[in-house]
Amino acid sequence: MAKSFKRVRVLSWNINGLRAAAGKGFLEWLGKSRAQIVGVQEVRALPEQLPEAVSRPRGWHTHFVAAERKGYSGVGLYARMRPDEVESSLARRALDTEGRVQMARFGELLVVNAYFPNGNGKARDNSRVPFKLDFYRRLFDVLERGRRRGDRILVMGDFNTAHQDIDLARPKQNVKTSGFLPEEREELDRWLRAGWVDTFRHFEPGGGHYTWWSQRFGVREKNIGWRIDYVLASEGAMEFVQKATIHPDVRGSDHCPIGVTLDGRVLG
């Protein structure tokens, strides 16, 4: 690892279209973020469609994965140090064509930036829930061997699932809504039972903390939201996690940024 840091700040943000976010101050936010690693989801652009100032801002190493379908999905990585390697395939074509994952290694730390599918079909009929669960399970399987041997792994991004009643403002009204279905919540349960740690809940047991709000007028101001963005840490990484945060005051998307601060020794 070329650089060493006393602390490593890792941030995640579903920016709901990177070109749109760039017009709402994304680069200014990035420059002031004090982060070493930033993962963004729902880029919705091919790399060549991004202005150079956005795709290669000064002082950042970048990597983007786009969906085959134009204007859809996609993830991006900004890092102050060059990753040792980046893998963007789950070795399943149906999953890989949607450009939903980056697995970037920085020394001893593996950062997985993921945009988990929404279970809603075009008719908002929950028809994509099986695909969503396939993604969860495949990513779990890809990471499981490393987690078991104690590797330092963070999985961050838009998980598109609120885990418990405390994680959304109106749980009773959404029990049949994708994002809060029993089978979706159980899959997240399975990750936590296996040893993954919900870093924010580790530090903050209270309610009222959300990461996504409907864009209907006044909803965000009233804080009628969902916590569907997470940083999960393997046991090997969790011992280095010092703090987990949600940043609801940051605008520019229907989601807000989240993150963790780690002891710099996590890099090895």
What tokens appear for 152 in the block?
């330092």
Q: Does the pLDDT value for residue 14 go beyond 60? A: yes
Reported as half-sphere exposure (CB side, CA atoms, 13 A), residue 169 has a value of 15
- Catalytic residue from among 158, 167, 198, 229: 158
Catalytic status, residue 249: no
Per-residue model confidence (pLDDT) at position 68 = 96
Would you place residue 4 in the very low, low, confident or very high pLDDT band (cuts 50, 70, 90)?
A: confident
Q: Does the predicted model carry a pTM greater than 0.75? A: yes
What are the tokens at 161?
Answer: 């699932």
pLDDT in tens, 187-211: 999 999 999 999 999 999 999 999 9
Q: Which residues pair with 37 in a beta bridge?
A: 10, 79
**pLDDT (0 to 100) of residue 12:** 99
Q: How many CB atoms lie within 10 A of CB 77?
A: 22
Whole-number pLDDT of residue 2: 45
Q: Residue length, the chain?
A: 268
Within 10 A of 28 (CB to CB), how many other CB atoms are there?
A: 11
- Alpha carbon 202 to its chain centroid, in Å, reads 17
Contact (CB, 8 A) for 42 and 64: no
Distance CA 234, CA 199 (A): 10
All structural domains of the chain, each given as residue ranges with its CATH number in brackets, are 9-262 (3.60.10.10)
**Residue 25: pLDDT over 60:** yes
pLDDT of res. 122: 82
- Give residue 214's pLDDT: 97
pLDDT for 179 equals 98
